[in-house]
Amino acid sequence: MRFLVAASAAALLAVGAFATTAQANQHGFYPQGYVGGDAMFWDLDPKGASSANDVGLRLRGGVQLNDYFAVEGHLGTGGSDTVQGVEAELDYLVGGFAKGILPISQEFRLYGLLGYSEVDFDFSPGGSARDDGFSYGAGAEFEVAPNLSVGADYIRYLDKSDANVDAASVGLRYQF
């Protein structure tokens, strides 16, 4: 699904385009672009075999359209684990999501994500495996300063009959 890679790159570039006009916006005016960086604790759980897990990095960017809805893209990579003599390395994950937001207070928000992702692992020995499918997750953000939030989420990037790929992430988000 090279389409997802291209679509995510385009979404991240579109977020950058909002930067110039959004600089004049005060908190509460929409649309608002944002970017974030996270430590991503991923887990590859093949059915009937031992799971592999490690820490990678994730970039995310999006556009919040109102208090309750945003569109978001994820790009993650990094980390490897050796299980029973086979090294599993996360080559990349890319995803596009609709983000439903529940504002609890002006500083604290809960959110849910629904979307589609592609995940690629390299195995040594054994080659590589790439798959795509429906993704979902949930998280929370707390605004620590105007335009700066800390947050955490848990996402099932891949839910297949033969394997699952999950990630718990913590990081920062900057809103333009």
Closest to 73 measured CA to CA, from 28, 12, 152 = 12
Residue 13 per-residue DSSP state = H
pTM: predicted TM-score of the whole model, two decimal places = 0.82
The pLDDT of residue 20 is 37
Structural domain span for residue 79: 2-175
Q: What is the pLDDT of residues 80-89, one digit of tens each?
A: 999 989 999 9
Mean pLDDT of 22-34: 68
Q: How far apart are CA 114 and CA 99, in angstroms?
A: 7
Condensed to tens digits (0 to 9), the pLDDT of residues 58-75 reads: 999 999 999 999 999 999
What's the confidence (pLDDT) of residue 18?
44
Cα dihedral 119/122/159/93 (nearest 10): -20
Residue 47: the pLDDT is: 85
Domain count, the chain: 1
pLDDT at residue 75, as a whole number: 98
CATH number of the domain within which 165 lies: 2.40.160.20
